[in-house]
Amino acid sequence: MDRKTNLKDWTLFLGFAAVVLCLPIILDPIGANYPDLLQKIAIFGIFAIGFNILFGLTGYLSFGHAAFIGVGSYMSLWSFKLLTMNVLPAIAFSVILAGMFAYLIGFVSLRRSGIYFSILTLAFAQMSYSLAYSVLTPITNGETGLQTRAIRTDPATSLLDGDIRIIDQALGIQEASVPTTHFFGMAMSGYTGFYFCAVLLIICFFIAQRLTNSNFGMMLKAIKSNQNRLNYTGIHTRPYLIAAFVISGMYAGLAGSLMAVTDPIAGAERMQWTASGEVVLMTILGGVGTLVGPVLGAGIIKYAEQKVSSWNEGILDSFFSFLPEGLQHFMSGLGALFVGEGWHTTLGLLFMIIVIFLPGGIMEGIRRIAAVFARKSKSNNTSAAAPQPAE
């Protein structure tokens, strides 16, 4: 491999890993240093990186990826209920099952492209959502949601109301009345939970980076660029698309599993189309087809969701307290439309601005700013080197 490209890739990877591991310090000044938010940023970062493998590289826009989140979450919960509270088997089973489910959906949906593909994936996800509330209630526990319980003492008790945890029982592990997930003894809550998710995010980023730069990744980019031409070049594009869809689904399954790991409850709302739409927003906001962009988009949206949605008119009143009273009330009243429950309006506006002015997302903005600085420094060097006229 070209040494310069290799160095650039490793620099990007190590920079990314350093930023992720230092997130609690980096986000502290903006009041985002608390485990719940940090965990969400890491988990949705994984989801967005995986989604970008499909959407960013092949151009196929899926509106059904939330289904894999749901599959991952339910599978993990069942692993906790039946086998052990150790997260390792839960994650492994979730990723495998999500991959199998993605293969089924991909096999059918990828017979079409463009809007028809998007509609098919949306239909599958909504179907899964409805099934979770109806036919599959014995597995999903319907509206109540699936959660871990204490080990049942009476075999007649339903598995939904009492767990068995065969492995934990066989190993004689004693547990508290409210069982907690752990990774070989390390509880998956608080900062430990975040660092566990952060390490997985870094691994996922590394895999995505390798995939993007591989022969396989190049074929996916060629599909996005001109699928028809690729067929006449001797490439059967469908298996490549199915592989990308399955990998992407496995990433989503992992994200769903981590949601259950950090908060052991799973509900069907995770499979709703809004969750699929959210990852589309994250990817476009950060920068489609870039490696860092989707994670950045996930971070911004999760931060805004937690922060902006918690603001209310009272906070805005104190923010605008320097204004005359009438103007203060007007401004806080106006601002109230965009905070609290109205934070989706803010998100919508932000999304529109990005799509109109920065179609390449925030990463394009960063590139443009970098280009301006590069030009300035170049022109400074040129003028410094230019011969000065004699006085």
Partner 1 sequence: MSAAEDIANEPGRGFDRGTANTVLHIDDVHKSFSGLHALSDVDLDVREGETHAIIGPNGAGKSTLLNVCVGRLKPDRGAVVFDGEVLTGKHPHEINQLGVARVFQTPEVFPELSVLENVMVPALSKRDGHFRLNPFKNFFGEKALRDEAENVLESVGLQAQLTDMASVMSRGDKRRLELAMGLIQHPRLLLLDEPTAGMARHDTNATIDLLKKIKEGGMTKVIIEHDMHVVFSLADRISVLAGGRIIAQGTPDEIKENPKVKEAYLGEEQV
* φ and ψ at residue 174, rounded to 5 degrees: -85, 140
Q: How far is the CB of 55 from partner 1 (least distance, A)?
A: 15
Q: Which of 217, 340, 342, 365 binds partner 1 (CB under 8 A)?
A: 217
Which of 168, 171, 176 lies closest to 150 in space, CA to CA? 176
Q: What is the DSSP letter of 163?
A: B
Q: Which of 1, 25, 385, 386 binds partner 1 (CB under 8 A)?
A: 1
The one segment of 164-172, 228-236, 302-310, 339-347 that binds partner 1 by CB under 8 A: 228-236
Tell me whether residue 52 or residue 189 sits nearer to partner 1 (CB atom): 52
Is residue 367 close enough to count as binding partner 1 by CB under 8 A? no
Is residue 12 close enough to count as binding partner 1 by CB under 8 A? no
Tell me whether residue 118 or residue 209 sits nearer to partner 1 (CB atom): 209
Report the SS3 class of residue 266: strand
Is residue 338 close enough to count as binding partner 1 by CB under 8 A? no
Q: Are 90 and 264 in contact (CB under 8 A)?
A: no
Tell me whether residue 98 or residue 259 sits nearer to partner 1 (CB atom): 98
Q: Give the list of residues 6+ apart from residue 351 with CB closer than 8 angstroms, or none.
A: 281, 284, 285
The one segment of 218-226, 267-275, 306-314, 362-370 that binds partner 1 by CB under 8 A: 218-226
Helices 273-286 and 114-133, axial angle in degrees (round to 10): 140
Is residue 2 close enough to count as binding partner 1 by CB under 8 A? yes
Q: How far is the CB of 107 from partner 1 (least distance, A)?
A: 15
Is residue 3 close enough to count as binding partner 1 by CB under 8 A? no
Nearest 10 degrees: CA dihedral of 314, 315, 317, 321?
A: 140
Nearest 10 degrees: CA dihedral of 122, 125, 129, 132?
A: 160
Is residue 112 close enough to count as binding partner 1 by CB under 8 A? no
Tokens of 263: 């908060």
CA–CA separation, 150 vs 239, rounded Å? 44
Q: Which of 5, 310, 377, 381 binds partner 1 (CB under 8 A)?
A: 5
Is residue 236 close enough to count as binding partner 1 by CB under 8 A? yes
Report the SS3 class of residue 147: strand
The one segment of 21-29, 43-51, 226-234, 325-333 that binds partner 1 by CB under 8 A: 226-234
Tell me whether residue 243 or residue 265 sits nearer to partner 1 (CB atom): 243
The one segment of 75-83, 223-231, 280-288, 321-329 that binds partner 1 by CB under 8 A: 223-231
Query: Looking only at residues 237 through 266 of this chain, which bind partner 1 when binding is defined by CB under 8 A?
Result: 237, 239-240, 243, 247
* φ and ψ at residue 302, rounded to 5 degrees: -70, -35
Tell me whether residue 111 or residue 229 sits nearer to partner 1 (CB atom): 229
Q: Which of 13, 183, 191, 216 binds partner 1 (CB under 8 A)?
A: 216
Q: Are 265 and 109 in contact (CB under 8 A)?
A: no
| Length, in residues, of the chain | 391
CA–CA separation, 195 vs 41, rounded Å? 12
Q: Show the CA angle centred on residue 225, arms to residues 224 and 228, nearest 5°.
A: 90
Q: Which of 11, 144, 214, 318 binds partner 1 (CB under 8 A)?
A: 214
Query: Looking only at residues 193 through 212 of this chain, which bind partner 1 when binding is defined by CB under 8 A?
Result: 210-211
Distances (CA, A) of 301 to 130, 145, 297: 27, 25, 6
Tell me whether residue 123 or residue 243 sits nearer to partner 1 (CB atom): 243
Q: How many chain residues bind partner 1 (CB under 8 A)?
A: 31
Is residue 17 close enough to count as binding partner 1 by CB under 8 A? no
Q: Which of 11, 144, 157, 225 binds partner 1 (CB under 8 A)?
A: 225
Cβ-based neighbour number of residue 352 at 10 Å:
10
Distances (CA, A) of 305 to 41, 270, 314: 11, 16, 18
Q: Which of 132, 202, 222, 268 binds partner 1 (CB under 8 A)?
A: 222
The footprint of partner 1 (CB under 8 A) covers: 1-2, 5, 210-211, 213-219, 221-222, 224-226, 228-237, 239-240, 243, 247
